[in-house]
Chain A
Amino acid sequence: MMKHLIPTLFIAAAFFLHSASHANAGEPAFKPKSPLSLTISADKSSYSPGENAELAIMALSLADSDALAIDLELSDGVKIVSGERQWRGQVAKGQFVSFGVVVGIPENGFARVHANAKLTDKGGGVFSGSASWSTGRNPVEKSLQKQTPRRIKRNGKNVVDYQVK
C-alpha cells in the first residue's frame, strides 16, 4: 500500500537547525508566529476516481508539549484505506512528528484532507496549525461573490466605496 511512506507513526529525531527566528536586512518585525506548523504532502500530483492517494502529514513543533493532537477532516466520499485519522502524543521542541494515511478518491474525483494540529505547551500556551491537501475539482464549491467597489475621490484622495446590500 504505502510504497513511499512509512505506514505508521514515526517521530523524526532530527533536531532543527536554528532558523526559527531570523532578521534579514530591511525586514519589518512580523507578527508572532505559531510555533506549530503542519504540512501535507502526496505521492502524486493528480489522481483518478477510485485511485488511492498516499499522504504524509508532518508537524514541526518549536515548543515542548505533553499533549499534541493532530486530527484529519475528510471531504464527502473520501475514505481512509489505511492509517489513522488522528495522532496524539508528546513532542519535544524542534521535533518533527509525521504519520501517513492512504485515502481513496471518490467517484466524483474530488478529495480534500484538512489537518488540524493543536498543542498546549508547558507554559500554558495553546497553539495550533493547519494544512490542507486536495485533488480534483470541488463540485459544490461556490465562487465567492465579491463586491466591486465604486471608486470616488474625496479631498484629492482615492476612495473605494462599498455599498451595503
Chain B
Amino acid sequence: MKRLSALAFVLVALLTAGGCGTNDSATGTAGHIVSPSEPFSLSGRIRYADKEYGMGGFTGSTSLKAVRFARIEAYSVNAFGMEQVVASGETGADGSYLLAIAGITGNLRMRVFASTGAGTPMTINVNDTDGNLYAVSSSTGISSESVATLVRSAGDTLPFDFDIPLDNGADPAFNLLDIYTAASEFIESLALSKPLPSELRIFWGFGSAKGTWYCSDSDPVYCPMGSGAYILGGNADGSGDTDHFDDDVNLHEFGHFIAKTYSVDESPGGDHSFTETDLDLRMAFSEGWGDFFQTAVKTWLKLNRPDVLSISDGTALTAYIDTYEHLAQIAIDIGSLPSSAAGDPYVYSSNEIAVANILLNVMNSFGMDAIWGVIQNYFPATANRKNLEAFWDGILQTAAPDQAGRTQLETIFSNRRVYYIEDSYEADNAISTDMRAIEFSKGEGHYLYRADGLADKDVVAFTAAAGKNYTIQTYCLKNGADSYLALYDSSGTVIAENDDDASLIGIPSGVSYLGCSVDRFTAYASRITFSPAASGVYYAEVKTSPAPLAFAGRYGTYSLRVVEQ
C-alpha cells in the first residue's frame, strides 16, 4: 500500500483552510450524486486534549494525547445530509488507524467513540448520565471530488488526522476512556484468576455534590444506570468539583471496581476523608486500597506507558491529587509521610492513608504480586473481615516471609502505628501465681496480638485491700480494638466482667479522655469497679470482645490501668 506522503501536506492544508472540498456543503448541489471514488485507505491519528496536574492542581499546560484502542468509523455524508458508514475499526496504542474504504459518495468524515475495542483487556464505555455513549466527529471532511483527485490508483492511502480540542463537550470522555483503559492494562499485567469482565461502564456528567463513586450494583438514587463508575461532580456549567481530568480520583475508583471483581470488599460505603483516624476498619482498607491502587497504576505506567501519565515533572507517582476547578483541594504524597510525628493523622489501621502507605511500602519491598495474592486469593478464602488485619494475616500466609521479611513487614506497619506484634508484657496470657503486678494508676500500653495466631489475652495481677474501691479499665482504644475485661479472684473465679463502658457513650468526638481524643472506638472500652470483701491478689484479664462490632477488629491496641481510690 503506497502512502501518499506528498499529498498529505496538500490535504492538511485544505482541511486547515476549510477550503474547497472540505465540508459538507462542498459536496455538490442538492440532488447531485457524486460518483463513487476508487477504493483507497484512510490513515491517521486521533488525539484528545489532556490537562497536566501537579500538587497545586492543574498547571495550565495541556497536551494532545493518543485516543488509544477506541472504536472509530469513517462515514460519508451525501448532499441530503444522509450518513453512510463506509468503514470501521479502532485506533492503536498510539492513536493511529488504518481503514480500507471501497469508495465514497459525498463528503468523508471520521467519528471516534468513547469506547474501546478488541485491543484492550476489556471494553470501556464512557456514557452520559442517560446511558448514551459519547462520540466525537471530525469537523471537516474530504469530498469525493478531492478523493478522486488524490487517489490515483486503487489502494492509495490518504492521511486524515483529527484532534479533539479541550473545549469540545466530549473531550473529557476521552481522558476517562484513557485512564480506565490504562488501569485495565495494569490489571492485565497481574496474574488473574479469571478474565476481566467484558465491560466497565463510566457515567460522566455534572451536578452531584457527592462527586465520584463506583457502584457494583444498581441503586435508584446513586446507581440508576447500574454498575459502573459515576463521575458526576461539578456544576451544570462545568465549574466546581469536576473529576473528569482528575486521574488519581478515577484510578482510585477503578481500584474499587477491581476489588469488587476479584476480591471481597466489605466497606459499608458513605463519606470519608483522609484525616479521619477512626474509620470502620473495613472502609479504611477499602479506601486505602483505592488510594494505593492509583499509585500502583501510575508506577506501572511510568515504566510501561509514560506517555499516558498526566502529572507534571517533579510530581511524585505516589501523590493523590483531587482538583477543585483549577486548584488542588486534596494533595498528599502517600509515599512521603512523616515518621508518625506528633499530630500526624495518617496512623492506625482505621485511617485510609495509613493503609495506603503500608500497602505502598509492602509493594516496594515485596512486589505487587505479593499484594495481589492477598487481595485476589486470600481475601475471598478467609472468613475474617476484610480489613488491614486480614491483609496482615494474608501476606504472612501467601508471601511466607522469612524472619527478616517479617521484621521488615512489622516495621512497615509499625511506622503507621499499627502493631501486629506481641507487646512487651508477653507472655501474659493466663493467670499464674507469679503473674506480674500492675502499678496502681499507671497506664500500660498493650497490643492484642499473638505471633502464634491464637487469640491474645493480657493478664495483670494486683493486690486489693478489703473495703477499698478499685477501678480497672481499658482506654485509648486504637487500631480497631474492642476490649473485654474480666476480673478474677485468687482462685481463678470470675467475679466481674464488662464488655463496653456505658459511661463513655455520648461523649462528643474530639474531647480528650485520659489523654486520648474521643472517637468511634472510645465507647467500646471496658471498665469494672469493685470493692473486695477480702484482701488478696486479683487478676484483670483483657481480650478482644467475643462479640466484636463489624467495624472493629480482632487485634488492636489499648491502654490498661487499675486505680485504687
Please report A residues at the B interface, Cβ cutoff 8 Å: 15-18, 20-24, 26-36, 62-64, 93-94, 116, 121-130, 144, 146-147, 149-152, 154, 157-165
Known A-B contacts A17-B509, A26-B219, A163-B136; A35 and B273 likewise in contact (beta carbons under 8 Å): yes
- Neighbour of A162 across the interface among B137, B273, B520, CB < 8 A: B137
Interface size on B, residues (CB 8 A): 89
Q: Point out which of A32, A126, A144, A147 has the most chain B C-beta atoms below 10 A from its C-beta.
A: A32
Given contacts A15-B511, A31-B213, A165-B139, contact A159 B270 (CB under 8 A): no
Q: Enumerate 5 A-B pairs (CB-CB under 8 Å) in ascending A order.
A: A28-B214, A33-B271, A123-B332, A125-B353, A164-B137
Cβ contacts under 8 Å, B272 to chain A:
20-21, 29-30, 32-33
Nearest chain-A residue to B520 (Cβ)? A18
Whole-angstrom distance between the Cβ of B289 and the nearest chain A Cβ: 11
Q: Are B338 and A124 in contact (CB under 8 A)?
A: yes
A22 to B138, CA, bound (A): 46
Per the 8 Å Cβ criterion, residues 201-259 of B in contact with A are 210-215, 219, 221-223, 230, 237-238, 243, 249, 252-253, 256
Q: In residues 134-180 of chain B, which contact A (Cβ within 8 Å)?
A: 134-139, 162-165, 167-170
Q: Are A164 and B510 in contact (CB under 8 A)?
A: no
Residue from B286, B342, B343, B352 with most neighbouring chain A CB atoms (10 Å): B343
**Bound CA–CA A130/B130 (angstroms):** 30
Residue contact B214 to A64, C-beta cutoff 8 Å: no
**Given that A23-B280, A164-B136 are contacting pairs, would A125 and B168 also be in contact in the complex, using a CB cutoff of 8 Å?**
no
Return chain A residues, CB-CB under 8 Å to B170.
149, 160, 162
Q: Which residues in window 514-543 of B have CB below 8 A to A? A: 517, 519-520
Using A23-B280, A124-B337 as known contacts, say yes or no to A31 and B508 having CB atoms under 8 A apart: no
Which secondary structure characterizes the binding site on chain A? loop
User: In the bound complex, what is the Cα–Cα distance between A123 and B330 (angstroms)?
Assistant: 13
**Which of B321-329, B382-390, B407-415 contacts the other chain?**
B321-329
Task: From known contacts A21-B283, A126-B332, infer whether A16 and B509 are also in contact, taking CB-CB under 8 Å.
Answer: yes
Closest 5 CB pairs of A and B: A122-B343, A18-B509, A23-B268, A23-B270, A15-B510
B-side contacts of A147, CB under 8 Å:
168-169
| Interface pair A23/B508, CB less than 8 Å apart | no
The 8 Å CB contact of B55, one of A126, A146, A163, is: A126
Contacts of B308 in A (CB 8 A): none
Bound Cα distance from A146 to B238, whole angstroms: 10
Per-position 1/0 for B428-460, Cβ under 8 A of A: 000000000000000000000000000000000
